[in-house]
Structure 1
Amino acid sequence: MLTAPTAEASRHEPSRDGLPPMPPGPPHEEGHVLAGALARGVTEAAMAGLVLPVALGAALTALGVAPAVTGAAGVALALACGLGAGLSGSFASRDAAAHYQAERLREEQESHLYPDRERWEVAAILHRYGVRGDILRDAVEAIASDRRRWVDFMMRFELDLSEPDPIRADRTALAGGAAMVLAGLLVMLPYLLGWQGALAWSWGLGGLALCALGGLRAAAQGLPPLGGAARALAIGAAATGGAWVLAKLVG
């Protein structure tokens, strides 16, 4: 079992380039079940994949459409939404990567063409954080002494941009699209299997899944799981109830 180093041990560890070792404290990398972008994307996509087909099923049932037709329409909706979400997410990741590279190239060019202006911008950023006098001048020179580090600093603190990972974004988008399709298939099963009271079964399955996903997402964000489950259920109920009422009025 790993334990945090004591303060006495930390003082005797060698420093790295003048940086002292990390003092004891909470884990540096906190591991949450749903903390990653992949898990968040899958969770949110699955929640959307639950709500939309259930709402469609409610509307078609209110209009008197046969359960088999309702099920087929719900599956088609889930597939369309899943494919659309996956492809749009993948294209968005490519656009974000291209935007980052374009901005980085511009910063590199400006650091060559206008080095004094770029140094002043570094100083202005550090000044906002309370760095003054000789310390400010030394910090600016230290940052500007390495071109890559200089551009990294400007990308992060001037433009508030982090380098995206298109491969990871693609995985998130594709996994989210698959989750949306599977969630839609789940709530359409009662229609496809011809269960009596398919709408009630679909609402029940969708509601349970929404509560579970909403609770997990809230817990990953450090919020009360019951509150997250209640919010997710309320959103689903509002969407499906609204679709059913509107279809009744129109019908």
Structure 2
Amino acid sequence: MSSPITPAERELLMARHAPARIAKRLAQGPSQNYLRDFIYGAIDGAITTFAIVAGVAGAGLSATVVIVLGLANLLADGFSMAVSNYLGVRAENQLRDKTRRQEMREIALYPEGEREEVRQIFLAKGFEGAALESIVDTITGDERLWVDTMLQDEHGLTLESPSAYKAAAVTFVAFISLGALPLLPFLVNAMSAGVIAQPYLYSCLLTGVSFVLVGAAKGAQVGSSRWVAALETLLMGGAAALLAYGVGYGLNGLIA
């Protein structure tokens, strides 16, 4: 059960729903959100880089190996993820364009059948009688609205086309930024003659903090509990790290 609305919240809601502000907001269209791309890159960057640190620690190899493998992972895997995300978003945009052209062609060739599809869609939503026919007439009287309706309700596609370049850039930056944290103690030691006595420990702490921060940020953005989201991310990242450490420890004898 939702909590009672306060006078301040009511005033804010009334201001946001003034007719002029609603019209302006709808005319601007929905803003693109690249949260998924950021979370995707940040968590994967931290997990994969720390997995290398944990695996090397389990195998008892030197800190130099951590730096070499870690930097290679940052650049190669970060670029690979960015390219993969770019191609995935681009393919989704291309599918949307193809489906739009297909629907426009079907409307031109057989409008009666497409009208019946609109009727069936809104009949399933609970409309009937004169209200249903009015909706069908309104939608099929505007070709763009007609096609948009088919894209959303028949094919389950969104109307927005996110930028594939921005999605790839967000993924790459997030991967590099969070993925560099597990390597930071080793890089500092390499440049400062071993000033950090226990780089593996500090790497664990930094990685854990990054998991918590990313999870909390995700929780705040989606309106869920920050603590639950932070704990979920920490547990998933920790499980990957333990797996990598176990593999490295198990192969220690083979490497020796």
TM-score interval for Structure 1 and Structure 2 normalised by the shorter chain: 0.7 to 0.9
Match of 2:42 among 25, 40, 46: 46
Match of 2:183 among 175, 181, 188: 188
Q: What does residue 76 of structure 2 align with?
A: 80
Partners of 1:62 and 1:247 within 8 A in 2: yes
Partners of 2:54 and 2:245 within 8 A in 1: yes
Letter matched to residue 91 of structure 1: L
How far has the Cα of 1:36 moved from its partner? 6.1
Percent identity of the aligned residues? 26
- Please list, as runs of the form range in 1=range in 2, the aligned pairs for 1:67-216 lying within 5 A after superposition: 67-167=63-163, 169-194=164-189, 195-216=196-217
Structure 1: where are the runs of 5+ without partners?
A: 15-20, 23-27, 30-34
- TM (normalized to structure 1)? 0.83
Q: What does residue 221 of structure 2 align with?
A: 220
Q: Whole-Å Cα distance in 1 between the matches of residues 169 and 197 of structure 2?
A: 34
Partners of 2:185 and 2:202 within 8 A in 1: yes
Letter matched to residue 185 of structure 2: P
Deviations 1:35-56 (A, max 9, x none): 9632342133112111111111
Deviations 1:175-229 (A, max 9, x none): 2112101222221011222232221111110001111111121122222111111
Deviations 1:83-105 (A, max 9, x none): 01111111222211211111111
Deviations 1:125-166 (A, max 9, x none): 010111111221222111111112111111111111123425
Q: Whole-Å Cα distance in 2 between the matches of residues 242 and 163 of structure 1?
A: 41
Letter matched to residue 76 of structure 2: A
Structure 2: where are the runs of 5+ without partners?
A: 1-7, 190-195
Letter matched to residue 133 of structure 2: R
Distance 1:3 1:163, change over 3 A: closer
Letter matched to residue 178 of structure 1: V
Letter matched to residue 56 of structure 1: I
Partners of 2:59 and 2:250 within 8 A in 1: no
Q: What does residue 241 of structure 2 align with?
A: 240
How far has the Cα of 1:3 moved from its partner? 5.0
Partners of 1:127 and 1:136 within 8 A in 2: yes
Q: Whole-Å Cα distance in 2 between the matches of residues 141 and 200 of structure 1?
A: 67
Q: How many residues align?
A: 229
Q: Whole-Å Cα distance in 1 between the matches of residues 71 and 197 of structure 2?
A: 19
Partners of 1:47 and 1:183 within 8 A in 2: yes
Partners of 1:68 and 1:192 within 8 A in 2: no
Q: Whole-Å Cα distance in 2 between the matches of residues 4 and 131 of structure 1?
A: 29
Please identify runs of 4+ aligned residues in structure 1 that moved more than 4 A.
1-6
- TM (normalized to structure 2)? 0.81
Letter matched to residue 179 of structure 2: G
Q: Whole-Å Cα distance in 1 between the matches of residues 12 and 182 of structure 2?
A: 46
Q: Whole-Å Cα distance in 2 between the matches of residues 93 and 76 of structure 1?
A: 25
Between Structure 1 and Structure 2, the one with more helix by share is 2
Partners of 1:87 and 1:174 within 8 A in 2: no
SS at match of 1:160: coil
Distance 1:36 1:102, change over 3 A: closer
